[in-house]
Amino acid sequence: MPQQRMDDRSEHSVAQSQHYVTRAPRDLTYDEKKAAEAAFRGEPFNPNWSVAAAAVYEGIVSAMSRMQVAALTELEAAPVAEECLTR
């Protein structure tokens, strides 16, 4: 019987580990807000801000870059009428 209980626990923990862990939202600190504003405005990062603010800044800049690349990729994929440039 003890062996059965151990097997049940291990199956239960495997099932739990397959779920994604989500954190409760929290308010940003002052420097995290400043970093977010700077990232959206295209301003440079202030090295006096915290490590958490750096993560916010980098996350926003990275996401914005991916969005720009996706938009450019969509533009390139659109059919465009070609003209002869050698006339």
In the chain, domain spans:
2-77
Instruction: Please give the pLDDT value at position 48.
Output: 95
Instruction: Please give the pLDDT value at position 58.
Output: 93
Per-residue confidence band for 84, with pLDDT thresholds at 50, 70 and 90: low
Please tell me the pTM assigned to this model. Answer: 0.56
C-alpha 44/C-alpha 35 separation (Å) is 9
Higher per-residue pLDDT: 70 or 28: 28
What pLDDT digit, counting tens, does each position of 36-82 carry? 999 999 999 999 999 999 999 999 999 988 887 777 776 655 565 66
> What is the mean predicted confidence (pLDDT) over 3-12?
50
Any idea what the Cα angle at residue 29 is, between residues 26 and 19, rounded to 5°?
30
C-alpha 64/C-alpha 12 separation (Å) is 40
Q: Is 61 exposed, middle or buried (0-12, 13-18, 19+ CB in 10 A)?
A: middle
The answer to whether 49 touches 31, Cβ cutoff 8 Å, is yes
C-alpha 24/C-alpha 76 separation (Å) is 40
Instruction: Please give the pLDDT value at position 20.
Output: 65
